[in-house]
Amino acid sequence: MTQKLYIETFGCQMNEYDTAKMRDVLAGSHGFVVTDNPEEADLLLLNTCSIREKAQEKVFSQLGRWRPLKLRRPDVVIGVGGCVASQEGEALQRRVPYVDLVFGPQTLHRLPRLLDEVRATRKPAIDVSFPAIEKFDALPEPRAEGPKAYVSVMEGCSKYCTFCVVPYTRGSELSRPLDDVVSEIAALADQGVREVNLLGQNVNAYRGTTADGGIADFALLLHYVAAVEGIDRIRFTTSHPIEFGEPLIEAFAQIPKLVDHLHLPVQSGSDRILGLMKRGHTRSEYIEKIAKLKAVRPNLSLSSDFIIGFPGETDRDFQDTMDLIETLGFDASFSFIYSPRPGTPAAEMADTVPLETKRARLARLQHRIQQRAAAISSRMVGSRQTVLVEGHSKKNASELCGRTENNRVVNFEGHPRWVGRLMDVWITEALPNSLRGRAAEHSLRAAVSLSFPESLTAPVA
Ligand code: SAH
Ligand code: F3S
């Protein structure tokens, strides 16, 4: 009988990516089929996140909800992967004894073997090691799901910002060879992928080996990706300000397929806090990099990550962050209150800021960024935007839905055959969470003549 797999995913895009790989690897090895009902699953996996305390707590409450399942059907296998698994290892299995499998972000390709081991021995299996780049060689060929795809180009982080667990849970920076990345993208393009998002904790730390024994940096990788036929849009998540150098700025000047959007985490606008965080750059260095980039990309939309209430953050420090927002005009943010993570240097720093103050600061920051985002959306009304049509609109299935380069959802009337294409759309209205639009005429003609045989579109004489 076909075995069923249920996976719950917490955390970042990297985890979403890893979850897709878990599905692929288990479909290949054991013929697992995904179910969205945990009650009928033979294997339950939890892909976890430990970036903040809340994310970590969710793991244990989710496992608690699965406990009755395990009591009822002891043959069900429960596995925990991701960053909490990586950090806790055996301790996790001791704390939650009905967990059968513990694996890390770098050992998910070993799932089939670990599962067989659990079933054969009826004992838990734990593997949270960091075996070099073996993972990618062991994974099946990617399958496209729609016109957008994520492709991991590097893993891990060697920056050790004082607040962050990632270097401990995902290991040091490790790049995939250039040819592997490019041929994976070519295979996805053959399956209809038009937009690729290059993934990594610090993509601009990319140093991939080339076929002739050289090393390619991230800017060179971008040139190779841009040359892949069928790929029309390139994004990347996430880059780090300290490796955002001239070659990458040049790439933005030279590669039109790179979108007019950049997510570049800054965390704080205060030099004092940036120093305590060990981010490796100052406020003005960040501003200078953005200025250089805007010189070659005047319409660039910029988003960032912020941490509010880092230990000892004063009103003055926070004001520096708010001022930076005014100076640079961020369009979106991932912003959270600082969460002390065990084992990180910042967790040892005296944290005297009351929670109420942190909450008020966060609300102020988020409100300001939202205001700015709304203003940018309003300014887009009347403009013509290139949209990647991703599918049907959520609220109205007879409409299409796509995204602009600066990541806004646009709903507009159109033909189902346009799904998967890049189209020009006039923006007609800005709503709080999306835009409305109308397909531009020349784009309409192109789409129609592409969709139908010549005889159908030729005017009837
Ligand atoms: N290199 C990745 C960082 C991954 S962590 C990147 O640049 O995207 C993602 C974000 O989580 C960080 O940018 C930071 O803003 C936030 N974060 C990390 N550790 C945190 C902590 N201890 N408390 C609050 N937010 C944190
Ligand atoms: Fe974390 Fe800093 Fe790396 S935020 S992922 S240690 S760059």
Residue ranges around ligand 2 (CB below 6 Å): 157, 159-161, 164, 166-167, 201-202, 240
| Angle (nearest 5°) at CA 238 between 234 and 243 | 100
346, HSE (Cβ side, Cα atoms, 13 Å): 26
* C-beta of 125 in contact with ligand 1 (< 6 A): no
Q: How many angstroms separate the CA atoms of 92 and 78, rounded?
A: 12
Beta bridge partners of 21: none
Q: How many angstroms separate the CA atoms of 436 and 432, rounded?
A: 11
Q: Is 252 helix (H, G, I), strand (E, B) or coil?
A: helix
The ligand with the least distance to the CA atom of 264 is 1
Spatial neighbors of 380 by CB under 8 A, at least 6 apart, are 404, 408, 427, 430, 435
Give the pTM.
0.90
Contact of 157 with 172, CB cutoff 8 Å: yes
Contact of 186 with 142, CB cutoff 8 Å: no
Q: How many angstroms separate the CA atoms of 222 and 75, rounded?
A: 47
* C-beta of 52 in contact with ligand 1 (< 6 A): yes
Q: How many angstroms separate the CA atoms of 341 and 168, rounded?
A: 11
Pick from 120, 32, 140: nearest CA to 75: 120
* C-beta of 305 in contact with ligand 1 (< 6 A): yes
Residue identifier of the C-alpha nearest atom 7 of ligand 2 = 159
* C-beta of 268 in contact with ligand 1 (< 6 A): no
| pLDDT digits (tens), the chain, 461 positions | 899 999 999 999 999 999 999 999 999 999 999 999 999 999 999 999 999 999 999 999 999 999 999 999 999 999 999 999 999 999 999 999 999 999 999 999 999 999 999 999 999 999 998 887 677 777 888 888 899 999 999 999 999 999 999 999 999 999 999 999 999 999 999 999 999 999 999 999 999 999 999 999 999 999 999 999 999 999 999 999 999 999 999 999 999 999 999 999 999 999 999 999 999 999 999 999 999 999 999 999 999 999 999 999 999 999 999 999 999 999 999 999 999 999 999 999 999 899 999 999 999 999 999 999 999 999 999 999 999 999 999 888 889 999 999 999 999 999 999 999 999 999 999 999 999 999 997 666 565 555 444 433 333 33
* C-beta of 423 in contact with ligand 1 (< 6 A): no
The ligand with the least distance to the CA atom of 351 is 1
**Polymer length of the chain:** 461
The angle, 0 to 180 degrees and rounded to 10, between the axes of the packed helices 246-254 and 283-296 is: 20
